[in-house]
Structure 1
Amino acid sequence: MPARRVRSVIVHQAYRFALDPTPAQARALSAHCGAARFAFNWGLALVKAVMDQREAEKSHGIAPEDLTPALQWSHYSLLWIWNRAKHEVAPWWTECSKEAYSGGLYRLAPALKNWTDSRTGKRTGPTVQFPRFKSRRRARRFTTGGIRVEPDRRHVTLPKLGRIRTYESTRKLARRIEAGTARVTSATVCFEGGRWFCAFTCEVQRNDPPPAQPDAVVGVDLGVAHPAVLSRPLHGVTDAAGFVLNPKHFVRESTALRRISRKVSRRCGPDRRTGARPSKRWERANQRRNRLHCRVANMRRDGLQKLTAALATEFGTIVVEDLNVAGMLRNRRLARSIADAGFAEVRRQLAYKTRWRGSRLVVADRWFPSSKTCSDCGVVKTKLPLHIRVFHCEWCGLEIDRDLNAARNLAALAASSTAGTGVAGDLEPSGSNGRGADCKTCAPRAGSREAFTSHRATVSDEDRRLGSARDSRRIGSPSRPSGS
């Protein structure tokens, strides 16, 4: 078997490690998080005060040239103003690293820019609201520079904080730094689930081999009962039919989560109206709930990482759908299961992993009738209610699982030039308006698009026996084309 040619590419990648700080170091980390929050809130208050002053002056008929000068919202401009005012507004600023204050303003600048672009029409998608002040309880993050990974692979060095021990070995990053294939640019320290983490943003030179089957095409149909259904089985990932088993992490932990949530609600929590601080018992119970949420998120993230890594390693072309997740979440009965599936995360991970290996990611447009099209003869059904889980073709007599039929249609779509750009790691279909909802693919034969089915539709006994509800996409879609 000929050796696969290794592809070298420089990418931005993050390495995340759990920290094991001493009590004094933990207090210092909290102080740096507070410093970043203070700089963010100070900059936001300054911008808001100048905007309100200009509006008041305009209401009094003052000429535009005589108004209070407007502030520049770039990171450099905000940092320039901070450096000249920090001795008065924060005389204690020397207790924390200057990188913490810079990081707080670095997060404020793009927030203000996104709000401005959303108002002027330069930014597509949902309307971006004006930034809000950060809460003391929720702001537990700061970004710093000038960091170093120690050669002993058990410590990291941060500015003003010194050497901090890590829970796990940093050898994955240390080996790349020693070999000269990685360069650390910044580090973000955050507090999640009762533990401190440090994420290093690096420029990494990856030398990944191409996919094992560069000419193979696989269609991936995402669902609820099964996280994904592949058009062809993959050893070690799917069963013999191509179905990925659903571990249901959130469902398994839902009983414990309800129990701890009731315990939190019975404690004396914080009150914004009166300014009352939470009790110690509430804080302990809330920490337990946060750790449980973090555990479920980590298990979900691990499963999705393994799935997408296996797909990018094996196949040269991967076809996925552009799902309307925002519309699907409006279904109150399936919103929890849809959010737990992580549809957007699967597509995001496939985008950069296919770029690493030089493979191709094809994104089918939102209205492609993947479930209603026969994967054998190409006939498109007029209607296919969601409670029917087995696809039966009256033209050729094919009987196949609905999700498997959709996955095979997606795989057959890879050869078509009407869906997707064919560029490795492309995130938007061709002709997209930024949200991917204006591109319509012509069906192979006469038919209609995906039919909307009411949630109260009656399910027959035969359909219940043949399969359970696996696919919840397009339920409750807010925008539908005319005539569907």
Structure 2
Amino acid sequence: MKKFRPQPGFVVQAFRFALDPNAVQEAALRSHCGAARAAYNWAVAWVEASWWQRRAEESYGIAEDGLTRWRPWSLPALRKAFNEAKHTDPRFAAWWEENSKEAYSTGLANAAAAFDNYAKSKRGQRKGKRVGMPRFKSKRKARLSCRFTTGVIRIDTDGRHVTLPRLGAIRVHEPTVKLLDRVRAGTARILSATVRHERGRWSVSLQTEVKRDLTRVARPDTAVGIDLGVKTLAVMADSTGEIRTVANPGHYDAARKQLRRASRTVSRRQGPDRRTGQKPSRRWEKANAQRNKVHHRVANLRQDALHKLTTSVAAEYGTVVVEDLNVAGMLRNRRLARRIADAAFGEIRRQLDYKTRRRHATRLVVANRWYPSSKTCSGCGAVKAKLALHVRTFECDACGLVIDRDDNAALNLAALAAACVTGTGVAGDQDTAPAVSKPRGADRKTRATRPRHKAEAGRAGGAALPHQRQEETRDRPQTEALMLW
């Protein structure tokens, strides 16, 4: 599919609303999402059938010219083959007319994207983990989702209903006045709609082309460094020296007692068993729904708190500095995994990324993963070789500074923003040569900063001051400390 490019001055933004469908509409929504899943499974089976056929023919000794032709997996090819098969295939012939064509197009588009990812990953053209062959989607586990790109997609004039193809007008839980006013003023245009069942609730996401004006922040000349943690969710220190602490709400820990009680009730009911084919009882389904409701509430509270935090930061500061944390590696720590997952470090980074780009007046600076923000003294720049995690107070051996560990890290991150602006060889300076990598794959261990010998200082023309002794060490990590995100 051709990638959509917004007009100059416009950006693509999604507006999400919670739906309130009646029983008939909910059944239609589930039917559309099931049709998308069925079309996806059909496409996977149709493409892979030629693969297995060719493999069987090769085992028979058939030459390359006599093998079955490869079946294409592009979206136009899948659409053409599906339109020819839906009239005669017993899996679709009896009911395919009940749903919109967009439901089947959603499944075929997802299958085409899955095969593309598999092919690119196999050729080494795709970043990240290696992607395997597309697998069939289970009716029990697949996420209910369907996308509409054509047809009647609009927000009704009353501001409380959304109209979708073949589904009609569906009531929403919250008013759609903000988007409706933009559409009426001509500063927004709806491109597509995606319905999804998530956290026990149906929602619709309207992808729109919105005119975005330049938004000025409250303090454009101030930079803030954000140090994320478990005990304290975030410690923010700006370039003026002001330090602000954001407490960790701990939504999951607060709900653990309620979750234990709900899980105990579920375990005492007759649940499903795939090995014996046992179906769950009605009491188990009711108890499981109550337990899921607790999980959904915790997720909603966490999302609300993170959005409020990131929105306030992006609206106040001109430069935001965060760390490139290895969240996946941190989750391997069985002692802290639950609290790290509850804090959602990766989600904070993701929200700051798009919210700072949306405002155009705020930039996001990502510190290198190996930058020793906690081990570096914010006063003189001395770097400790080791600093255990249980040590919560930083004590500098050079200047004697005593400061909280998290406050010290946040101050160092805020100082990196100034280094990026002045141009000290950091990433982002276009005219500066990149740092030379260390030979033999040298490790990333932090080197301790030690004062020079008195005799050496005397030969240099006098005793060196503490901040002079640290200049060489401070410049080294800053060479590769920043990445403009």
How high is the TM-score relative to the length of structure 2?
0.82
Deviations 1:437-473 (A, max 9, x none): x9999989748xxxxxxxxxxxxxxxxxxxxxxxxxx
Amino acid of the structure 2 residue aligned with 1:153: G
Decide whether aligned partners of structure 1 residues 361 and 443 sit closer, same or farther in structure 2, where only a CA change above 3 A counts.
Answer: farther
Deviations 1:164-215 (A, max 9, x none): 1112211121111111111111111122233221111112112241222111
What is the aligned partner in structure 2 of residue 24 from structure 1? 24
Gaps of 5+ in 1: 1-7, 235-239, 424-429, 432-437, 448-484
Amino acid of the structure 1 residue aligned with 2:73: W
| Rg larger in structure | 2
Gaps of 5+ in 2: 1-7, 436-440, 451-485
Deviations 1:293-338 (A, max 9, x none): 2211111111111111111111111111111111111011111111
CA contact (8 A) 1:363 1:420 kept: no
Amino acid of the structure 1 residue aligned with 2:329: G
CA contact (8 A) 1:419 1:441 kept: no
Decide whether aligned partners of structure 1 residues 408 and 444 sit closer, same or farther in structure 2, where only a CA change above 3 A counts.
Answer: farther
The counterpart of 2:355, out of the listed 343, 353, 377, is 353
What is the aligned partner in structure 2 of residue 375 from structure 1? 378
The counterpart of 2:415, out of the listed 412, 415, 438, is 412
What is the aligned partner in structure 2 of residue 253 from structure 1? 255
SS of equivalent residue, structure 2 residue 106: helix
CA contact (8 A) 1:319 1:361 kept: yes
Amino acid of the structure 1 residue aligned with 2:249: P
How many residues align? The count is 423
What is the aligned partner in structure 1 of residue 133 from structure 2? 130
Verify: 1:189 aligned to 2:189, yes or no: no
CA contact (8 A) 1:9 1:356 kept: no
CA contact (8 A) 1:361 1:422 kept: no
What is the aligned partner in structure 1 of residue 473 from structure 2? none
What is the 5 A alignment of 1:187-226? Answer: 187-226=193-232
- Segment of structure 1 superposing worse, 161-170 or 393-402: 161-170
Q: How many percent identity over aligned positions?
A: 55
Alignment partners' CA distance in 2, 1:273 and 1:41: 23
What is the aligned partner in structure 1 of residue 82 from structure 2? 82
The counterpart of 2:116, out of the listed 113, 118, 137, is 113
Shift of 1:350: 1.1
What is the aligned partner in structure 1 of residue 281 from structure 2? 279
The counterpart of 1:174, out of the listed 177, 180, 196, is 180
Shift of 1:401: 0.9
Deviations 1:261-311 (A, max 9, x none): 222233233333344332222222222222222211111111111111111
Alignment partners' CA distance in 2, 1:383 and 1:445: 8
Deviations 1:30-63 (A, max 9, x none): 1111111111111112222222112222222322
The counterpart of 1:144, out of the listed 148, 161, 176, is 148
Tell me which of the two structures has the higher relative contact order, counting C-alpha pairs closer than 8 angstroms and 6 or more residues apart.
1
SS of equivalent residue, structure 2 residue 334: coil
What is the aligned partner in structure 2 of residue 313 from structure 1? 315
The counterpart of 1:396, out of the listed 394, 399, 412, is 399
Alignment partners' CA distance in 2, 1:12 and 1:445: 48
Alignment partners' CA distance in 2, 1:233 and 1:365: 19
Decide whether aligned partners of structure 1 residues 105 and 420 sit closer, same or farther in structure 2, where only a CA change above 3 A counts.
Answer: farther
Alignment partners' CA distance in 1, 2:57 and 2:36: 32
What is the aligned partner in structure 2 of residue 364 from structure 1? 367
- Segment of structure 1 superposing worse, 211-220 or 391-400: 211-220
What is the aligned partner in structure 1 of residue 482 from structure 2? none
Q: CA RMSD in A?
A: 2.5
Alignment partners' CA distance in 1, 2:319 and 2:32: 45
What is the aligned partner in structure 2 of residue 227 from structure 1? 233
Alignment partners' CA distance in 2, 1:302 and 1:233: 28
SS of equivalent residue, structure 1 residue 123: coil
Decide whether aligned partners of structure 1 residues 360 and 241 sit closer, same or farther in structure 2, where only a CA change above 3 A counts.
Answer: closer
SS of equivalent residue, structure 2 residue 238: coil
What is the aligned partner in structure 1 of residue 481 from structure 2? none
Amino acid of the structure 2 residue aligned with 1:22: N
- Segment of structure 1 superposing worse, 13-22 or 69-78: 69-78
CA contact (8 A) 1:362 1:419 kept: no
Verify: 1:38 aligned to 2:38, yes or no: yes
Alignment partners' CA distance in 1, 2:199 and 2:445: 48
SS of equivalent residue, structure 1 residue 216: strand
Alignment partners' CA distance in 2, 1:418 and 1:297: 42
